[in-house]
């Protein structure tokens, strides 16, 4: 009985998919209205968003309804990945992930007014022409907004570093020394926070919530990895880890200084950053010095021990 019911259920679902063909006629009426709105909206945002194909927007939305089946057949909608470049689909229609990214990007405008909360996301959805209820797709504590912003900043930083590297390769710019390079990279990355610096402490606290720590740690490590990669780090030993740990520490402390910095143009922060990087560089030298001194000391002690043994006659074999 149970299997018959299940089979009937499956058959019914299959028949639903067939029966939606007449329903598609009705839906074209809806989607034509939406294409107009959607294309107007996409043209507004397309210059901000780098990851979407903006031109065929009307095509996308027209096909969204009839081909709306495909996203459902995947296992329950996976959250957009924050470590990569968002959910880029190979198909030509806008997936749920892309729409979510668009809503979050639009919501960033409202962060100065509403801080990093679901309210900003609701306002963002409203600005895109969607209902405010679309903010229900996200977490109600605003974490996805913060994570999206951080991931966006990291992507921008990557692009900047890549462009600089190209310029160096083409010979149009000088290759910077490591400490100068790192200083510029961290400074560029922190400058992206300036528009949101008022509410950044709240964002930091959201990033430190237990359920967000895996994602935020992921983002931090990938950013630090990027910076060292473009700085030319090719180490394969323990240095790989120490360098990234040190840079992560420098970045985090500078970020905290920046949040409470009230000097004009954040001069104090850049000063602090300079000092920390100098410290880090010196630390490398000092570590070598300590090791050399230690070795010399140990050799001296060994020599003294052998001398004493000789003097007392313990070394002779009788």
Partner 1 sequence: MAASIGAAPCRTLFRRSCGKRLSAAWGLLGGARGLVAQGETHLGFQTVPEAEKEQRVYQVFESVAKKYDIMNDSMSFGIHRLWKDILLHQMNPYPGTQLLDVAGGTGDIAFRFINYVRSQREYRLRQKLKSHQNLSWQEISKSYQEEALKPLGGSQVVICDINKEMVKVGKQKAQLLGYTEGLSWVVGNAEELPFDDDKFDIYTIAFGIRNVTHIDQALQEAYRVLQPGGRFLCLEFSQVNNPLISRLYDLYSFQVIPVLGEIIAGDWKSYQYLVESIRQFPAQEEFKAMIEDAGFLKVEYRNLTAGIVAIHSGFKL
Question: Contact region for partner 1 (CB under 8 A) — 6-14, 42-50, 269-277, 289-297?
Answer: 6-14
Q: Does 125 bind partner 1 (CB under 8 A)?
A: yes
Binding test (CB under 8 A) with partner 1, winner from 84, 112, 136, 300: 136
User: Least CB distance from residue 203 to partner 1, whole Å?
Assistant: 16
Contact 64, 39 (CB under 8 A): no
Binding test (CB under 8 A) with partner 1, winner from 45, 51, 58, 96: 96
Q: Does 28 bind partner 1 (CB under 8 A)?
A: no
Q: Does 109 bind partner 1 (CB under 8 A)?
A: no
SS3 of 240-280: the string is HHHHHHHHHHHHHHHHHHHHCCCCHHHHHHHHHHHHHHHHH
Residue with tokens 């309210």: 119
| Chain-centre distance for alpha carbon 38 | 27
Which residue, 58 or 180, has its beta carbon nearer to partner 1? 58
**DSSP H stretches of helix in 108-142:** 111-114, 118-127
User: Least CB distance from residue 135 to partner 1, whole Å?
Assistant: 6
Binding test (CB under 8 A) with partner 1, winner from 45, 46, 85, 134: 134
CB-based contacts of 196, cutoff 8 Å, min separation 6:
108, 111, 112, 149, 203
User: Least CB distance from residue 200 to partner 1, whole Å?
Assistant: 15
Which residue, 30 or 241, has its beta carbon nearer to partner 1? 30
Residues 54-83 that bind partner 1 (CB under 8 A): 64-65, 68-69, 71-72, 76-77
Residue with tokens 């083409």: 170
User: Least CB distance from residue 134 to partner 1, whole Å?
Assistant: 4
Contact 179, 281 (CB under 8 A): yes
Buried/exposed 274-295: b ≥16 CB within 10 Å, e otherwise: eebbeebeeeeeeeeeeeeeee
- Site of interaction with partner 1 (CB under 8 A): 1, 5, 8-9, 11-13, 15-17, 19-20, 22-23, 26-27, 30, 34, 37, 64-65, 68-69, 71-72, 76-77, 96, 99, 118-119, 122, 125, 128-137, 140
């Amino acid at each position: 009985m149970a299997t018959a019911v299940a089979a009937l259920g499956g058959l019914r679902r299959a028949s639903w998919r067939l029966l939606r063909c007449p329903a598609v006629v009705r839906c074209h009426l809806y989607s034509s209205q939406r294409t107009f709105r959607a294309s107007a909206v996409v043209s507004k945002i397309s210059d901000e968003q780098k990851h979407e194909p903006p031109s065929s927007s009307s095509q996308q939305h027209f096909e969204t309804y009839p081909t709306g089946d495909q996203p459902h057949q995947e296992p329950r909608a996976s959250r957009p990945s924050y470590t990569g470049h968002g959910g880029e689909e190979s198909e030509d229609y806008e997936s749920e992930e892309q729409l979510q990214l668009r809503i979050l990007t639009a919501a960033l405008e409202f962060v100065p007014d509403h801080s990093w909360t679901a309210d900003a996301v609701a306002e963002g959805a409203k600005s895109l022409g969607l209902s405010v209820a679309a903010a229900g797709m996200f977490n109600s504590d605003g974490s996805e907004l913060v994570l999206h912003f951080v991931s966006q900043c990291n992507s921008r930083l990557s692009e900047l570093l890549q462009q600089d590297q190209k310029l160096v390769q083409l010979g149009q710019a000088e290759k910077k020394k490591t400490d100068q390079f790192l200083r510029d990279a961290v400074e560029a990355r922190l400058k992206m926070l300036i528009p949101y610096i008022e509410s950044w402490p709240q964002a930091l606290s959201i990033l430190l919530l237990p359920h967000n720590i895996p994602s935020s740690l992921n983002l931090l490590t990938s950013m630090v990895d990027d910076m060292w990669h473009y700085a030319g780090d090719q180490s394969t030993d323990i240095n790989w880890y120490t360098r990234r740990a040190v840079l992560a520490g420098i970045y985090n402390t500078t970020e905290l200084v920046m949040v409470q910095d009230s000097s004009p143009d954040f001069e104090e922060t850049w000063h602090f950053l300079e000092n920390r990087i100098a410290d880090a560089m010196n630390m490398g030298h000092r570590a070598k010095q300590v090791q050399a001194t230690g070795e010399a000391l140990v050799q001296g002690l060994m020599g003294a021990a052998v001398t004493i043994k000789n003097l007392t006659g313990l070394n002779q074999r009788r």
